[in-house]
């Protein structure tokens, strides 16, 4: 849920760049490619979530150190684009990963949190307003308060995420399927919220 806007924007970036750079085919995996790279910096939290023991704030790990990760992505992207013969395979992952960090940085409409933008030169975490101390916080509490029920953050991000997923699907498959994807995304969020509300009250 929390990655829905990353996924939506990543898919839209991949769809539009695949046309801009004239990819000869536009298979679905291009959309998956964009979504995965837009989520890449959060992969360090997948295992702790599955194990059920999340400690500290995962935005303080090296996965959220843009100078390091963007450098690694650029290196492998350059190799990929060289062999594939299209710079799309360099530009798309870079833009998607960069989008993730901008989204994780407070100081504009969609941003929240802070990132160690200058690591390894500085450990300080920054929002777009300036340096800040990133709180350790409780991941479970953050999820419950902001995502597992209608809240300003969840409504804004899930709504826009569904809209961008629909737009990316429409790029490839036409507006009908774009609308279907948008409706399916919204519906699945509502079902998830209702299920969680019953689950948390012990009805299931």
Residue matched to tokens 């898919």:
11
- In the bound complex, what is the minimum distance in angstroms from residue 141's beta carbon to Zn ion? 18
Q: Are 170 and 151 in contact (CB under 8 A)?
A: no
Tokens representing 23 are 């990819």
- In the bound complex, what is the minimum distance in angstroms from residue 100's beta carbon to Zn ion? 6
Query: CB neighbours of 39 closer than 8 A, spacing ≥ 6?
Result: 3, 6, 7, 10, 100
Of 33-41, 65-73, 116-124, 190-198, the window that binds Zn ion (rule: CB under 5 A) is 33-41
Residue 41 contacts Zn ion per CB under 5 A: yes
Query: CB neighbours of 156 closer than 8 A, spacing ≥ 6?
Result: 110
Task: Give the nearer residue to Zn ion in terms of CB position, either 44 or 163.
Answer: 44
- In the bound complex, what is the minimum distance in angstroms from residue 60's beta carbon to Zn ion? 11
Q: Report CA torsion sign: 108, 190, 139, 121.
A: negative
- In the bound complex, what is the minimum distance in angstroms from residue 31's beta carbon to Zn ion? 20
Binding mask 70-109 for Zn ion (x = CB under 5 A): ----------------------------------x-----
Q: Are 111 and 127 in contact (CB under 8 A)?
A: yes
Residue 157 contacts Zn ion per CB under 5 A: no
Q: Judged by CB under 5 A, how many residues of this single chain contact Zn ion? A: 3
H or E element in which residue 130 lies: strand 130-132
Residue 42 contacts Zn ion per CB under 5 A: yes
Q: How far is CA 64 from the centre of its chain?
A: 12
- In the bound complex, what is the minimum distance in angstroms from residue 65's beta carbon to Zn ion? 11
Q: Which residues bind Zn ion (CB under 5 A)?
A: 41-42, 104
């Amino acid at each position: 849920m929390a990655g829905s806007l990353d996924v939506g924007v990543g898919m839209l970036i991949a769809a539009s760049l695949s046309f801009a750079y004239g990819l000869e085919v536009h298979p679905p995996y291009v959309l998956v490619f964009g979504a995965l790279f837009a989520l890449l910096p959060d992969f360090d939290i997948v295992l702790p979530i599955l194990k059920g023991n999340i400690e500290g704030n995962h935005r303080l790990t090296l996965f959220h150190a843009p100078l390091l990760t963007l450098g690694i992505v650029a290196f492998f992207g350059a190799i990929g684009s060289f062999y594939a013969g299209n710079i799309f395979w360099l530009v798309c992952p870079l833009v998607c990963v960069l989008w993730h960090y901008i989204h994780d940085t407070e100081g504009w409409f969609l941003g929240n949190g802070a990132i160690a933008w200058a690591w390894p030169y500085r450990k300080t975490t920054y929002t777009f307003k300036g340096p800040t101390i990133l709180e350790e916080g409780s991941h479970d509490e953050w999820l419950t308060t902001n995502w597992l029920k209608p809240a300003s953050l969840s409504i804004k991000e899930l709504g826009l995420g569904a809209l961008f997923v629909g737009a990316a699907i429409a790029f490839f498959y036409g507006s009908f399927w774009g609308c279907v994807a948008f409706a399916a995304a919204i519906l699945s969020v509502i079902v998830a919220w209702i299920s969680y509300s019953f689950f948390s009250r012990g009805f299931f």
